Structure 1
Amino acid sequence: MGIHEITENQHRYFFSGKTRPVEFRISALRKLQRALRENEDGLCTAMMQDFNKPPFETYMTEIGIVLDEIRFHIRHLPRWSRERKVRTPLSQFHAKSFLSPEPYGVVLIIAPWNYPIHLCLEPLIGAISGGNCAVLKPSAYTPSTSRVLAKIISDIFDPAYITVVEGGRNENQVLLDEKFDSIFFTGSVAVGKTVMEAASKNLTPVTLELGGKSPVIVTETANLRLAAKRIAFGKVLNAGQTCVEPDYLMIHESVRDRFLTEYANALKDFFPSSDMSDMPVIVNEKHFKRLVGLMDGESKAIGGGYAEPRRFIEPTVLIDVKPESPIMQEEIFGPILPVMTYTDIETVIEYIRSHPKPLALYLFTSSKAMEDKILETCSFGGGCINDTIIHLATPHMGFGGVGYSGMGQYHGKLSFDTFTHYRSIVKKSTWLDLSMRYHPYTDGKFKLIKRFLK
């Protein structure tokens, strides 16, 4: 079936009204929930084939998070989908006002390769909850996982309702040439601009979850052992191929050397085996060579080794990195941590504010004043104080970027909102009709209008 035929079938399915009942949506979520549990082993095997990602990490960062999101939506969807009464101005007496949620229609979800289960299915949950049909486009860079996802979706859903389109750039372009009612994209800034440009032709609303260079700041008052362990966790998770990874470190120069010792100790604790065989690898040769090239000419305080045949890069710390260094010009997306030192926090703030707003920021400090200062002066999508990564693993807060790191948020209720249009409805009574708004306009009516609207 061609892509145009797929989208036409989905539009017809949506207009049939089948996706609108809350019972239908909850049933679809339960089907997805059961299928994930039944196919856990197959998904873990696929992730090992694509990434060498251990089942523990696959469940923690992909399957488990998705299951938790589904559970949250099943619990709250009946309340989210109800019409909600709001106040009516006295000038509109007598009337009732309410917000009426409706699905957008047929949505396109373009997922990236770095978390191919999580970042494909998490937005799908919002699309299902909102009552939409959906076309999923997983990344061609993770073919094993893409095949398993396509099989799961085809087994449990009518393709006129939800379907997967596999392939690469050609399929992406054909999909973007179609008319969708909403597009959800996760990926790079460059491709995000292409998606937004294509969406503009049909004035299609877009949600863009992008990336950027997310800083981590360690002050002189930080708990260095804990900071090192939690930053190392964020850097080695998925081999650093995480959109909210701590991209670079700015640390007070008085504690840098102690931090490096603690970071090395943390890595030894994480990987007792010297071959680090249970650490994920880089997704493909292109990205592997890019990362190796970024280390050229830099001073390596920790690690720096790599094994090309299996696309493995050892957790690495670079020191004395200059702002103009190549590794500071692009998002790293690998287990390499460049370190720059500071003595005055104002220089850190100035550096961060002089660059595009990052998707995440991480601050390690025991000073409430420092915490307040960073939050008041730096703009970023989200982040943590005294930890990394974990702010995205909750359905109780939204996740998304700002500026170049993205637009729109999802997770929990905000996923439902992302794929929902709220109609503003006024239901006016017929037993009373105030005449002040009608012609002819008189001084008396003018005085009444001024009394109501002031």
Structure 2
Amino acid sequence: MAGGKWGPCAGQACIGIDYVLVQHNFAPLLVESLKHCIKRFYGESVESLQSICRIVNKFHFDRVRKLLEEPGVAASIVYGGSLDEENLMIEPTILLDPPLDAQIMTEEIFGPLLPIVTLDAIEESIDFINARPKPLAIYAFTKNKKLKDRILQETSSGSVTFNDAMIQFICDSLPFGGVGQSGFGRYHGKYSFDTFSHEKAVLHRSFFPELEPRYPPWNDFKLEFIRLAYNLDYIGLLLLLLGLRRLFMPNRSR
């Protein structure tokens, strides 16, 4: 999870983790585990950061700083939050339950800030996700098969990865792309070829037989024939053509 957030360009990646949903009783353990990983991977202060990217430019540095400086957001910081403007460095930062209407929770972050939102039950994560624009990726860390199935069946996203993050992008046998506001289309491997190809529809048929029910003037027989053919009711068609349908089937009100 730490690698999926801060590893890819310090969070400046479209498939990076934007926020974490966790059942409230597991939140303290998650925060402490993430703190340990940050110190181990990147260092313990903004001055000693290593193996982590700078923010791409001053404009985006100021944009991320603005997200962090909202009063309700700043009060939710449980780790990090330091900035080095001269070197465009922002310390990996963990926020616990920032206001859900804050800008950091209503737009993509593209920076090293990780909001953690606590829930009474992890199953509430499905409604939380569905109440927002469809994400490019969902990363679900769970062994619960029932929860996995619900995530697959009840949410919509560009991809779903279980118990890892971002690794789906390097698997060229899987299509990569979004859905809704997170994008459209697919690429990688054969999916790239299909995306940039036009599949021309071509149909061949013979001159015989020609089906008279296709053409006017319409009557009950033709309308019934079309209805049966559309529903692939072969027995009904056979009875109709033999003139026996009225003997075996009740009359339909017109």
Return the TM-score normalized by structure 1: 0.44
Question: Within 5 Å, which residues of 2 pair with 1:136-175?
Answer: none
Q: Deviations over 1:108-164 (max 9, x none)?
A: xxxxxxxxxxxxxxxxxxxxxxxxxxxxxxxxxxxxxxxxxxxxxxxxxxxxxxxxx
Q: Which has the higher contact order (CA 8 A, sep 6+)?
A: 1
- Structure 1 pair 253–440 and aligned structure 2 pair: CA distance change class (3 A): closer
Q: Deviations over 1:80-135 (max 9, x none)?
A: xxxxxxxxxxxxxxxxxxxxxxxxxxxxxxxxxxxxxxxxxxxxxxxxxxxxxxxx
Mapped pair 1:268 → 2:45: no
Mapped pair 1:305 → 2:82: yes
Aligned partner (choices 175, 184, 208) of residue 434 of structure 1: 208
Question: Within 5 Å, which residues of 2 pair with 1:319-398?
Answer: 319-398=96-175
Task: List alignment gaps of at least 5 residues for structure 2.
Answer: 233-254
Partner residue of 2:59? Answer: 286
Task: Please give the alpha-carbon distance, in whole angstroms, between the structure 1 residues aligned to 2:36 and 2:215.
Answer: 83
4+ residue runs of structure 1 moved beyond 6 angstroms?
438-443, 449-453
Letter of the structure 1 residue corresponding to residue 82 of structure 2: G
The alpha-carbon deviation at position 435 of structure 1 amounts to: 4.5
Task: Please give the alpha-carbon distance, in whole angstroms, between the structure 1 residues aligned to 2:62 and 2:5.
Answer: 18
SS class of match (1:422): coil
Question: Within 5 Å, which residues of 2 pair with 1:24-423?
Answer: 231-236=1-6, 237-271=8-42, 275-296=48-69, 297=71, 298=74, 299-423=76-200
Which of the two has greater strand per residue?
A: 1
Letter of the structure 1 residue corresponding to residue 4 of structure 2: G
- Structure 1 pair 292–426 and aligned structure 2 pair: CA distance change class (3 A): same
Partner residue of 1:52? Answer: none
Task: Please give the alpha-carbon distance, in whole angstroms, between the structure 1 residues aligned to 2:66 and 2:77.
Answer: 13
Q: Deviations over 1:39-85 (max 9, x none)?
A: xxxxxxxxxxxxxxxxxxxxxxxxxxxxxxxxxxxxxxxxxxxxxxx
Letter of the structure 2 residue corresponding to residue 335 of structure 1: P
Task: Please give the alpha-carbon distance, in whole angstroms, between the structure 2 residues aligned to 1:368 and 1:440.
Answer: 54
SS class of match (2:200): strand
- Structure 1 pair 376–426 and aligned structure 2 pair: CA distance change class (3 A): closer
The alpha-carbon deviation at position 426 of structure 1 amounts to: 3.5
- Tell me if structure 1 keeps the 8 A contact 2:22–2:122: no
- Structure 1 pair 284–331 and aligned structure 2 pair: CA distance change class (3 A): same
Letter of the structure 2 residue corresponding to residue 252 of structure 1: Q
Letter of the structure 2 residue corresponding to residue 401 of structure 1: G
- Tell me if structure 2 keeps the 8 A contact 1:383–1:389: no
Task: Please give the alpha-carbon distance, in whole angstroms, between the structure 2 residues aligned to 1:367 and 1:437.
Answer: 56
Task: Please give the alpha-carbon distance, in whole angstroms, between the structure 2 residues aligned to 1:334 and 1:238.
Answer: 8
The alpha-carbon deviation at position 333 of structure 1 amounts to: 0.5
The alignment yields a C-alpha RMSD, in angstroms, of: 2.7
The alpha-carbon deviation at position 357 of structure 1 amounts to: 0.9
- Structure 1 pair 359–291 and aligned structure 2 pair: CA distance change class (3 A): same
- Tell me if structure 2 keeps the 8 A contact 1:305–1:313: yes
Q: Deviations over 1:274-307 (max 9, x none)?
A: 5223311111111101111111132221211121
The alpha-carbon deviation at position 355 of structure 1 amounts to: 1.1
Larger radius of gyration: 2
The alpha-carbon deviation at position 325 of structure 1 amounts to: 2.0
Task: Please give the alpha-carbon distance, in whole angstroms, between the structure 1 residues aligned to 2:42 and 2:118.
Answer: 27
Letter of the structure 2 residue corresponding to residue 265 of structure 1: H
SS class of match (1:345): coil
Task: Please give the alpha-carbon distance, in whole angstroms, between the structure 2 residues aligned to 1:256 and 1:440.
Answer: 69
Q: Percent identity?
A: 36
- Tell me if structure 2 keeps the 8 A contact 1:381–1:401: yes
Return the TM-score normalized by structure 2: 0.77
The alpha-carbon deviation at position 348 of structure 1 amounts to: 2.4
- Structure 1 pair 424–257 and aligned structure 2 pair: CA distance change class (3 A): same
Which of the two has greater helix per residue?
A: 1
- Structure 1 pair 427–290 and aligned structure 2 pair: CA distance change class (3 A): same
Size of the aligned set, in residue pairs, is 219
Task: Please give the alpha-carbon distance, in whole angstroms, between the structure 2 residues aligned to 1:441 and 1:300.
Answer: 74
SS class of match (1:426): coil
- Structure 1 pair 425–322 and aligned structure 2 pair: CA distance change class (3 A): same
- Tell me if structure 2 keeps the 8 A contact 1:322–1:340: no
